Amino acid sequence: MSQPMISFTEELRNRSDDQIKALFSLRPDLISPVPTDVMALSARANSTPSLLRTRETLDKFRLDILTALCTLEEPISLRQLLAVTTQEAKGAVESLWELALIYKDGENFRIPSNVRTIIGEYPAGLGVKHTRTVDFELLATAPKGAMETLERMMWGPPKGQVTDVKRAPAPIKWLLENNFLIPFDSQTVLLPREVAMHLRQGKVFQSLQPKMPPLEGSARKQKAADLASIANISTFVRWAEELGHNWSDEPPTALRSGGLGVRDLKRTAEHLGISEACAAFVAELLYIGGLIVIDTDDQILPTSAFDIWLTKSIEEQWFALVTLWIETSRVSGLIGKSDSKNIAALGPELDRGGVSTLKKIVLQLLKDHPEIDPSLDSISDALLWLLPTRANRDYTEWILREAEWLGLTGQGAISTFAVALINKEELGVEKALPKPVDHILIQADNSAVAPGPLTLELANAIGTIADIESRGGASVYRFSESSIRRGLDHGQTGDQIKDFLKKISKTPMPQPLEYLISDVAKRHGKLRVGNTTSYLRCEDEGLIQEILHDKRVEQLRIRKLAPQVLICDVDSQEMIRVLREAGYLPAAENATGVLISAPQVRRAKARPKPPRVLSDISSPAENLMIAAVRALRAGERASSHKPREVPRTTANETVDLLHQYIEERASLTIGYADTNGGVSNRLIDPLSISLGTLVARDHATGAITHFRIPRITGVSPAN
pLDDT tens, residue by residue, 582-595:
888 888 887 667 66
Q: What is the DSSP string of 265-320?
A: HHHHHHHHTS-HHHHHHHHHHHHHTTSEEE-TTSBEEE-HHHHHHHTS-HHHHHHH
Res 458: pLDDT: 83
Distance CA 226, CA 248 (A): 33
The alpha carbon of 525 is separated from its chain's Cα centroid by a whole number of angstroms, namely 48
Question: In a 3-state reduction of DSSP, which class is residue 116?
Answer: helix
Query: What value does the mean pLDDT take over residues 513-521?
Result: 88
Res 612: pLDDT: 64
Distance CA 81, CA 62 (A): 13
Is 199 within 8 Å of 126 (Cβ atoms)?
Answer: no
Which ranges of 439-480 would DSSP assign to H, the alpha helix?
456-465
Res 604: pLDDT: 72
Res 7: pLDDT: 87
Q: Looking at 540-666, which runs of residues are DSSP E strands?
A: 559-562, 565-568, 586-588
The string of pLDDT tens digits covering residues 19-43 is 999 999 999 999 888 888 888 898 8
Q: Please list, residue by residue across 582-597, b when 16 or more beta carbons sit within 10 angstroms of its beta carbon and e when fewer do.
A: eebbbbbbeeeeeebb
Res 281: pLDDT: 96
Is 680 within 8 Å of 674 (Cβ atoms)?
Answer: yes
Distance CA 594, CA 319 (A): 44
Res 235: pLDDT: 87
Q: Among 361-370, 485-494, 513-522, which stretch is predicted with the lowest mean pLDDT? A: 485-494
Instruction: Give bridge partners of residue 470 from the DSSP assignment.
Output: 476
Return phi, psi of residue 708, to 5°: -70, 125
User: N- to C-terminal Cα distance for the chain?
Assistant: 34
The string of pLDDT tens digits covering residues 233-250 is 988 998 998 899 889 888
Distance CA 208, CA 220 (A): 32
pTM above 0.85, yes or no: no
Distance CA 716, CA 719 (A): 9
Distance CA 353, CA 387 (A): 13
Does 667 have pLDDT greater than 80?
yes
In the chain, the percentage of residues whose pLDDT exceeds 70 is: 93
Is 66 within 8 Å of 390 (Cβ atoms)?
Answer: no
Does 525 have pLDDT greater than 60?
yes
The string of pLDDT tens digits covering residues 124-168 is 999 888 888 888 888 888 899 889 989 888 997 888 888 888 888
Q: Looking at 531-639, which runs of residues are DSSP E strands?
A: 534-537, 559-562, 565-568, 586-588
Bond from prior residue into 183 cis (ω within 30 degrees of 0): no
Is 417 within 8 Å of 391 (Cβ atoms)?
Answer: no
Tell me the CATH number of domain 631-717, given options 2.30.30.100, 2.60.40.2550, 2.40.50.140, 2.130.10.10: 2.30.30.100
Does 228 have pLDDT greater than 50?
yes
8-state DSSP, 224: H
Strands 586-588 and 559-562: unpaired
The string of pLDDT tens digits covering residues 603-624 is 777 666 666 666 667 778 888 8
Binning pLDDT at 50, 70 and 90, where does residue 383 land? Answer: very high
Return phi, psi of residue 8, to 5°: -60, -40
Is 37 within 8 Å of 43 (Cβ atoms)?
Answer: no
Query: What value does the mean pLDDT take over residues 571-584?
Result: 84
